[in-house]
Amino acid sequence: MTEEALVARAVEGDVDAYATLAERYYGSCARIARRMLRNDADAEDVVQDTFLRAFRAIGRFERGREFRVWLFTILVNQCRTAATSRKRRQQRFSDDETALDRATDERPTGIVDETSAVAAAVDRLDPLLREAFLLKYVEGLEYAEMATVTGAGISALKMRVKRACDALRPMLEAIYHD
């Protein structure tokens, strides 16, 4: 069944159609959430919450809109909210994020596979740059779609992607050229 047909049935109340969409997009959402929150348990909670919110709101989904973009908009907002809440909780203790924010071009040690190495590199990015990189290079969104998802302008998003790539370049060169 085409996605358009699945979405139409989900809007009309077919829970199995919605569940199929959720299965289809779970991976993408999980990838974004894991990198944005840098914690797998938190990421799963946020992804579940995202799909449940979308489920409750699917009746308002406008025909002709792209489901993935709508879903990612909800997800990105949930990730930002979760990250803000966690940061407030953590600020009473030594802040691991501060250490991670001091990005260097050192190759991470103790890493054994390409995915983990790249993930560690991306995790060092400023959250907004990380978000832009994930949406562009991992999920393949167009800039106009990214603008809808993030609320940022296209020019700002292009700048964020550029800065993310500039920061990642030495780390990726180290990962891929050893």
Partner 1 sequence: MKTTTIVLACLLTASAARAQDARLRGVLDAETLAKVTRLTDSARVESLPVEPLVGVALEGAQRHASGARITKAVQDYLGALRGARAALGSDASVAEIASGAGVLLSGVNGDVLRQLRTASPNRSLTVPLVVLADLIARGVPKDTAARAIAAAARANARDDDYSALRRFVEQDIIAGASPAAAAMLRVRSITGVPPADEPVP
Partner 2 sequence: MTDGDFERLYERAGAALRTPAPDEDAARDRLVKRIHAESLRSTTRRGNAFLPWWAALAAAAIAFAAGLGTGRATTSSRSSTAAQVAGGAAADAAQRPIEFVFVAPAARNVSLVGDFNGWDASATPMRRTDGRTTWSVAVQLPAGRHVYAFVVDGDAWVADPQAPLAPEQWYGQRNSVVVVAASGDRRS
Which residues make up the interface to partner 1 (CB under 8 A)?
53, 57, 60, 62, 70, 73-78, 81, 126, 128, 147-148, 151-153, 156, 159-160, 163
Kindly tell me which of 62 and 178 has the beta carbon lying closer to partner 1: 62
CB of 74 to partner 1, least distance (A): 4
Task: Find the binding residues for partner 2 in span 126-165 (CB under 8 A).
Answer: 133-134, 136-138, 140, 165
Residue 52 binding partner 2, by CB under 8 A: yes
Closest separation in Å from C-beta 165 to partner 2: 6
Told to check if 63 binds partner 2 by CB under 8 A, we report yes
Binding-site size, partner 2 (CB under 8 A): 45
> Among the candidate windows 22-30, 71-79, 90-98, 144-152, which touches partner 2 by CB under 8 A?
22-30
Closest CA to 127 of 35, 28, 39: 35
